[in-house]
Structure 1
Amino acid sequence: MPVYSMTGYASAQTSAGTAPAGHDGSKAATASRLGLEIRSVNSRFLDLSFRLGEELRAHEPALRELITSRIKRGKVEVRAGVEGASAELAREPSMATLQRLAAVQDTVKTWMPTAAALSVGEILRLAAAEGDTSVDWGDNLQKLAARTLEDLVSAREREGARLAKMLLGHLAQLRQLAAQAKPMVPQLVEQQRQKFLERWKEAMALGEGTATPEAAQDRALTEATAFAIRIDVAEELTRLAAHVDEIERLIQKGGEIGKRLDFLIQELHREANTLGSKSAALELTKISVDMKVLIEQMREQVQNIE
């Protein structure tokens, strides 16, 4: 199954059929255009928002159902509207339309004498809207939305493939850094052992003079405890390798893996931090820093995966 990004954009347009010329000699209405665009960005959950024209708002539930069937996460914005062709804006209203508008205006003025008269622009706009009432926008909108949504999913899939490739590259680099760190552990153990022995001899020397044997023993135990905690980086490397393997498995599996990847990235960061805090050598500290840089880059990429 592919890896999907939450970032994508798609748009499409379609035209409604041209209305025939009227019996009174009015010109034929040119086709209206239905335009729709869907854009999505990353979000923790699925967040849908719609900006639809007046003639399309009744179809929002159907659009919502269509989108939720294909998209599970992301902030998705849907815009749709109907626009008349430029020729349609200047077409001559039919005599019947003008008579109806005049009758409505007379009725309004009867009850509201101070109401303003209709302007030429308002008459043309109302006439154009009346000409669109016969168009089945619901059917057109559903077909257009299905096509646009397919394009959006394809765009998210392409972006997801790019993110997956980058993540796999970073995982390979993390493995290389872990492989460099692993041989250092025995060397660090030996270095810390020598320091421990030196401090033990110092403690025993103090015990021959002012310090009691019990004090020397307590100091030796303290040094031994600090030594054990300080050099224990093998566990961190083991857990880090396990997290890297799991992330790679999820990427190969695909699907809705974004939340799981986000959790694993946090665990990777924790292990790299602990590795740096326990480091007893400059080389190991540098490896820890390089790991954290890679992991932070991965975190940014994972934020966009569905």
Structure 2
Amino acid sequence: MLQSMTGFAGGKGEAEGYTWAWELRSVNSKGLDLRFRVPDWIEGLEPQLRAATSKAVTRGSMTLSLRVQRAEEAANLALNHATLDAVLAALAEVEQKALDQGHTLSPSNATDVLAVRGVLESTNADGNSEALSKALVKAYPELLKSFIEMRENEGATLETLLLGQVKEIAEITEKALEIADQRKVEVAETLRTNLKKIMDNTDGVDEARIAQELAMLAVKSDVTEEIDRLKAHVAAAQDLIKQGSPIGRKLDFLMQEFNREANTLCSKAQNVDLTRVGLDLKAVIDQMREQVQNVE
């Protein structure tokens, strides 16, 4: 089954006297980019969550946001103003330096600032995070499962769309073959006419050399190989899509091959109808390539 690289899942939980809320989301990426915003006072949590995610996902820019507080202490949290001032000053310095170098950073929000260790302090926290870490690691697979299900649902839609586009490419390729077959007689007759004109108006010319040059022209206008390769690419694309994710990189490479053959077909067409078909082919390939960017 195909998976889309875009997805979202959220959830809440409670254990060991704490409550938490977390969100997992992803967008397209060439590789796997994991960005986890989890409280750093929960020792050993992030490496375990990263390991579990890496086993389930191969591509996508993923962000996990986790907020944790004691179940009974919402009113017992206090800001550490000194730490807050230091964090805000550091953020301002980073943003200014980025602007000076021509970069634009995503704006930080209050949740990001509050998640920094030391900004929020509890009046009765016992500092023991081992049990909480175990509870979160145990609960994480359920969040990850919901996330994967959403990506698979979107992937099912992508699969239907991609198979339809592959079918359209196959149909256009068959049309190109029909036109190419129809023009073979015309091309052959043109070559014979040109050869006769040359032979009638030229003395002392090597007939074998002329025939060789005309044969080369015929080869340059022959699109049989391009059509055969397009058919092979269609079969490969169908097999890949049915194989299921992770196939995004392979499909992306295959789209480059599709585009190369379509370009060559257009350049060798020398025929209005065949050129029109080649352009139709390129249009569908471009549409399909856009969708392939979403496939894990």
TM-score scaled by structure 1?
Answer: 0.75
Q: Note the alpha carbon deviations across 1:68-120, whole angstroms, 9 max, x for none.
A: 121122222111121467x8444599xxxxxxxxxxxxxxxxxxxxxxxxxxx
Measure the CA separation in 1 of the matches of 2:252 and 2:63. Answer: 24
Aligned to 1:281: 271
Max radius of gyration: which structure? 1
Q: CA deviation at 1:154?
A: 0.4
Aligned to 2:97: none
Aligned to 2:21: 35
**Contact persistence 1:36–1:144 (CA under 8 A):** no
- Pair 1:198-2:200 in alignment: no
Gaps in structure 2 of 5+ consecutive residues: 79-119
Q: 1:133 to 1:239 in 2, by over 3 A?
A: same
Measure the CA separation in 1 of the matches of 2:27 and 2:126. Answer: 34
Letter of the structure 2 residue corresponding to residue 281 of structure 1:
N
**Contact persistence 1:13–1:144 (CA under 8 A):** no
Q: CA deviation at 1:45?
A: 2.1
- Pair 1:172-2:163 in alignment: no
Aligned to 1:47: 33
**Number of residues of Structure 1 aligned to a counterpart in Structure 2:** 254
- Aligned equivalent of 2:58, options 65, 72, 78: 72
Letter of the structure 1 residue corresponding to residue 162 of structure 2:
L
Aligned to 1:258: 248
Measure the CA separation in 2 of the matches of 1:37 and 1:92. Answer: 22
Letter of the structure 2 residue corresponding to residue 185 of structure 1:
A
Q: CA deviation at 1:259?
A: 1.8
Aligned to 2:3: 4
Aligned to 2:143: 148
Q: CA deviation at 1:241?
A: 0.8
Measure the CA separation in 1 of the matches of 2:206 and 2:75. Answer: 102
SS at match of 2:205: helix
**Contact persistence 1:4–1:159 (CA under 8 A):** yes
**Contact persistence 1:36–1:145 (CA under 8 A):** no
Q: What does 1:1-306 correspond to in 2, within 5 Å?
A: 2-16=1-15, 32-56=18-42, 58-83=44-69, 88-90=73-75, 126-128=121-123, 130-131=124-125, 133=127, 136-207=131-202, 212-214=203-205, 218-230=209-221, 232-306=222-296
Q: CA deviation at 1:215?
A: 5.4
Measure the CA separation in 2 of the matches of 1:219 and 1:177. Answer: 36
The CA RMSD over aligned residues, in Å, is 2.4
SS at match of 2:41: helix
Q: 1:72 to 1:126 in 2, by over 3 A?
A: closer
**Contact persistence 2:16–2:132 (CA under 8 A):** no
Q: CA deviation at 1:221?
A: 3.2
Q: Note the alpha carbon deviations across 1:20-76, whole angstroms, 9 max, x for none.
A: xxxxxxxxxxxx531111111222222212111233353111111111121122222
Letter of the structure 1 residue corresponding to residue 252 of structure 2:
D
Measure the CA separation in 2 of the matches of 1:185 and 1:43. Answer: 40
Aligned to 1:22: none
Letter of the structure 1 residue corresponding to residue 57 of structure 2:
I
Q: Percent identity?
A: 35
Measure the CA separation in 1 of the matches of 2:50 and 2:291. Answer: 27
Q: CA deviation at 1:151?
A: 0.7
Measure the CA separation in 1 of the matches of 2:6 and 2:52. Answer: 18
Aligned to 2:115: none
Letter of the structure 2 residue corresponding to residue 290 of structure 1:
D
Q: 1:219 to 1:92 in 2, by over 3 A?
A: closer
Q: Note the alpha carbon deviations across 1:175-228, whole angstroms, 9 max, x for none.
A: 111121112223211111222122112212212xxxx32256544432332122
Q: 1:228 to 1:14 in 2, by over 3 A?
A: same
Measure the CA separation in 1 of the matches of 2:234 and 2:76. Answer: 66
